[in-house]
Structure 1
Amino acid sequence: MNQVQCRMARAALGWGVLDLSKEARVSTQTIVRFERGEALKQSTVDQIRTALEAAGIEFIPENGGGPGVRLSRNQN
């Protein structure tokens, strides 16, 4: 997951930085720093990714069209 995918995932869920920080159990500043492109510990990135995946986000690898996100089919 990169910073653009994180922003895209929040937008797909209708979440603000505060929503994601609560779900991932990290500070809002951590989310802001990540989305600005600052390096975080891999364990922190994993925590953020896990929270987004639990909410129904699927991460799409770069496959000729660039990395992206989508809502899982189980989402309403």
Structure 2
Amino acid sequence: MTQTLPPVQFLQTAEPGTRVVVRYRIADGLTDALGYLLEAGETSCTVRTRTSDVEIPLELVIAAKQVPPPPPRRQPTVR
């Protein structure tokens, strides 16, 4: 049986560069950050998404896990 870490503990022990998805609370509900973990400290973590670096307060984190690398990009079709 595999034992999973609580989300904050996972983020604080994951290696920088690990691809992660982090679900966290925002004013209107929940949102996800999918990208590469840059760092995780005592109070926040930073995830580099496709569009920006997102700093997430750990107190708002609901779930977090490692995810596989993205699939290769498809070549554009030529007509």
Question: TM bucket by the smaller chain?
Answer: under 0.3
> Which has the larger share of helix?
1
TM value normalised by structure 1: 0.26
Higher strand share: 2
TM-score by length of 2: 0.26
